[in-house]
Structure 1
Amino acid sequence: MTHQAKNNRLGEYVISSVGEERYRAYIPAPLPPDPPLDMTRLYPLLDQASTALGRLDGMSMILPDPSLFLYMYVRKEAVLSSQIEGTQSSLSDLLLFEVDEAPGAPLDDVTEVSCYVAALTYGLTRLNDLPLSLRLLREIHAHLMNNARGGNKNPGEFRTSQNWLGGTRPGNAVFVPPPPDKLADCLGRFETFLHDETVRLPVLVKAALAHLQFETIHPFLDGNGRLGRLLITLILCAEGILRDPLLYLSLYLKTHRARYYELLQSVRETGNWEDWIEFFLQGVIETSRQATDAAQAIVKLFKDDRVTLEKSGRSTASALSIHALLQNRPIATSTRVTEATGMSLPTALRNLALLEELGIVREITGKDRNKIFVYGKFLDILSQGTEPLRR
């Protein structure tokens, strides 16, 4: 494609002002790109991505309880997506928080991640009775920002003031999204693209386009990055590409964040959507394979540990019940175990001690009372890649 043709895909800069300061804000061209995408260079990666995604989607058919895997995988995504925005919470921190124990990370960080879980879960459930729309995005945003940090950021409402990325003000920012008076037009065209059945593009390509366009519009005062990443999964589920919400790209984007930000800006400056889509499709391939491998490893772990229990000669229905509980929540207090299983505290502790002796769980407090047990190998599989970013 010629340089001039790519220029035709570019948006426009408008001069706006805050107080006495004037600055340039960017208004993206509507989707889909015009001239159309060069699909010949995209098809090989698209085929690989579709195959990898199909294998991942098929995993939900062989998992003994897909809901357990989804429960934990949603939490992993919440941690990763929030880390990209600067939180220091780990998956262990979130799980400790959810069983009312003190996490190792700042409480505000963990609360923010917990709100992401709530927003993601709400959005996926709401898709059952509401189409993917600006209304749904506002509703999800309200759940996402339902915390101390987000309370003053107009939860669930599109911004009415200027935001910017990088720098200390719009005048020295790296990027300035559309000014408030242009936001409604940009969002209207964006929603039209989401619903336009005349646009004949593969769903994965549509998701790639929509994610970048959403990030460029940046319609909320805060939370745009997290919601933009969630939008990818919402599109794949709404379009029927995934039966269950198993694909999340945050680990890939976290690992390659410098290239990710470079490509976002490159599309705005050059109109080169193809490079961005290739990067996106490579992320789908890598992430799908990682998730498939993780699901297979978890299934094998559960089976092997159950066999270990049964072959120990000391296996009881209580021990197997606790093992099943820890497949649901890999961090549990002794109180949680008694409440969930109905067994007495002495019985629970005796069987937890057996699981610990067999190397299935470990106790992490060292206390005589209020013990906390971790299904370590399960948590290790889930936690791969969730180490907090260094500031």
Structure 2
Amino acid sequence: MVLKGIIKLPISVSKEKSIEIYKQLAKTNLVIGKMDAHINRSLVNDSLLSLLSFNESVQSTRIEGTQVTFHDFMENKNKKEMDWQNKEVSNYHEALMYGVDQIQNHHMPISTRLLRRIHSILMEDARGTSSASGEFRKIQNFIGPNNKIEDAVYIPIPPNEINSYMENLEFFINGENHYSFDIDKKDSEEYFPYDASPLLKMAIAHAQFESIHPFLDGNGRLGRILLVLVSVKESLVSSPIFFVSEELEKERIRYYNSLNSTRGQKPDWSTWLLFFLQASERMANNIIQKLLSAEQLATTGMDNCETDMQKNIWLATFTNPIATAKEISSFLNIHPATAKRGLDFLVTKNMLDRDDSKKRNQKYYNYDLIRAIQN
């Protein structure tokens, strides 16, 4: 029997399952705290924030079927003309950073208006129904293996109910009470209200948005951006560096199946919450390893440099792991010849690789850093 629609927030699980969820929540929060401490001590934290945000953009779009790797995108991100796959990653990154800026620097709430604007950025010149970018769907859609609704695994709420469900979600995300939260509660159930802990709020908001499926296209990508936005709003970590899509992409089918368990009139939220918390724990440990590897690489490289300029150029490659001398000169505001001399020195020390197949506009590659981010 196909699942249809969803129940409005708040959600509940059995008391027994809630104990399991809270135990996992404590474990995950502990690892995220360690990750945050590493970020604050890191020599290259700003550079890694940039690279991890690019990696998030790659991994999230790979869930949707693109084949672009982190290396591919870093190679192509400055090109004026891109194929649709790189364009989709570029749009994702622009939309992600726009949303983070609006919340972090302009103190905007996570509103329907903001999500519509982010969706417009996400869909610009990309695949899908870009003509409806920023607009809620006006027709019934469905999720399934093909374009036949009779084969659907899930049929979302009808278009005329989207605004009501999005209002319910918006109040939940922003931690404000709403009349729709007033429900008859059962003593045997544990409820997660609008002031739930940040990780639980992230998980619930993501799943609910995906199930509302308010747009014709781009719901999955926007739903994963929403995870980051909630983490920023809730100050989960001191920098917007906690990106989960890499772990979700590794277990894509489990991810989709867990989301599907939250749907219908008898949802099982515990499966999704446990999956998300466990994936978040793995991702936090993964980010710690990326940070440690990059930090070690930066420190060792600095020891090999002979001048302050060489050190600056070396650290510049942690923001620009694939770059030309012109790009490094622009980044550091130095003469291109100075940048080239520094980069060539790093090549002699086996810290960078240079594309010797070209005589002009040669690219320099910090492969060790790329490997650290991709691992």
TM-score, normalised to structure 1's length? 0.84
Instruction: Indicate if the aligned counterparts of 1:108 and 1:149 stay in contact, CA closer than 8 A.
Output: yes
Are residues 1:222 and 2:217 paired?
A: yes
Are residues 1:326 and 2:317 paired?
A: yes
Instruction: Indicate if the aligned counterparts of 1:365 and 1:371 stay in contact, CA closer than 8 A.
Output: yes
Are residues 1:273 and 2:269 paired?
A: yes
Q: Which residue of 2 aligns with 1:289?
A: 285
Among candidates 111, 118, 134, match of residue 133 of structure 1: 111
Structure 1: state its 5+ residue gaps: 1-12, 14-23, 310-314, 385-391
Q: CA deviation at 1:70?
A: 0.8
Looking at both structures, which has the greater relative contact order when contacts are Cα pairs under 8 Å and sequence separation is at least 6?
2
Q: Which residue of 2 aligns with 1:74?
A: 53
- Deviation by residue 1:263-318 (Cα, 9 ceiling, x = unmatched): 12223255211121111110111001110111121111100011122xxxxx2344
- Deviation by residue 1:350-370 (Cα, 9 ceiling, x = unmatched): 332221121100013522222
Instruction: Note closer, same or farther for the CA distance 1:304–1:142 as it changes in structure 2 (3 Å cut).
Output: same
Are residues 1:120 and 2:96 paired?
A: yes
Q: Which residue of 1 aligns with 2:27?
A: 48
- Aligned sequence identity (%): 30
Q: Aligned equivalents of 1:336 and 1:27: distance in 2?
A: 50
Q: Aligned equivalents of 2:243 and 2:54: distance in 1?
A: 11
Instruction: Indicate if the aligned counterparts of 1:159 and 1:220 stay in contact, CA closer than 8 A.
Output: yes
- Deviation by residue 1:129-156 (Cα, 9 ceiling, x = unmatched): 3111212111111111122425634111
Equivalent positions of 1:10-159 (< 5 A) are: 26-34=4-12, 38-100=17-79, 107-127=83-103, 128-150=106-128, 152-159=130-137
- Deviation by residue 1:246-271 (Cα, 9 ceiling, x = unmatched): 11111111111111111122232552
- Deviation by residue 1:189-218 (Cα, 9 ceiling, x = unmatched): 222322344624222112211111111111
Among candidates 297, 302, 315, match of residue 301 of structure 1: 297
Over aligned residue pairs, what C-alpha RMSD do you find?
A: 2.2
TM-score, normalised to structure 2's length? 0.87
Report the residue type matching 1:141 in the other structure: H
Q: Aligned equivalents of 1:216 and 1:260: distance in 2?
A: 13
Q: Aligned equivalents of 2:101 and 2:243: distance in 1?
A: 17
Query: How many residues align structurally?
Result: 354
Q: Which residue of 2 aligns with 1:254?
A: 249
Q: Aligned equivalents of 1:154 and 1:164: distance in 2?
A: 17
Q: Which residue of 2 aligns with 1:163?
A: 141
Q: CA deviation at 1:185?
A: 2.1
Q: Which residue of 2 aligns with 1:6?
A: none
- Range 108-117 or range 169-178, more displaced: 169-178
Report the residue type matching 2:130 in the other structure: N
Q: Aligned equivalents of 2:259 and 2:332: distance in 1?
A: 49
Q: CA deviation at 1:344?
A: 4.9
Instruction: Indicate if the aligned counterparts of 1:53 and 1:285 stay in contact, CA closer than 8 A.
Output: yes
Structure 2: state its 5+ residue gaps: 178-192
Q: Aligned equivalents of 1:207 and 1:328: distance in 2?
A: 28
Q: CA deviation at 1:227?
A: 1.0
Instruction: Note closer, same or farther for the CA distance 1:185–1:262 as it changes in structure 2 (3 Å cut).
Output: same
Report the residue type matching 1:323 in the other structure: W
Q: Which residue of 1 aligns with 2:159?
A: 180
Instruction: Indicate if the aligned counterparts of 2:95 and 2:119 stay in contact, CA closer than 8 A.
Output: yes
Q: Which residue of 1 aligns with 2:235?
A: 240
Q: Aligned equivalents of 1:279 and 1:144: distance in 2?
A: 27
Instruction: Note closer, same or farther for the CA distance 1:85–1:336 as it changes in structure 2 (3 Å cut).
Output: same
Q: Aligned equivalents of 1:161 and 1:183: distance in 2?
A: 11
Are residues 1:367 and 2:358 paired?
A: yes
Instruction: Note closer, same or farther for the CA distance 1:222–1:355 as it changes in structure 2 (3 Å cut).
Output: same
Q: What SS does the aligned partner of 1:42 have?
A: helix
Report the residue type matching 1:143 in the other structure: I
Q: Aligned equivalents of 1:152 and 1:338: distance in 2?
A: 37
Among candidates 186, 201, 208, match of residue 206 of structure 1: 201
Q: What SS does the aligned partner of 1:327 have?
A: coil
Instruction: Note closer, same or farther for the CA distance 1:348–1:132 as it changes in structure 2 (3 Å cut).
Output: closer
- Deviation by residue 1:322-353 (Cα, 9 ceiling, x = unmatched): 21221221111122234444555554433322
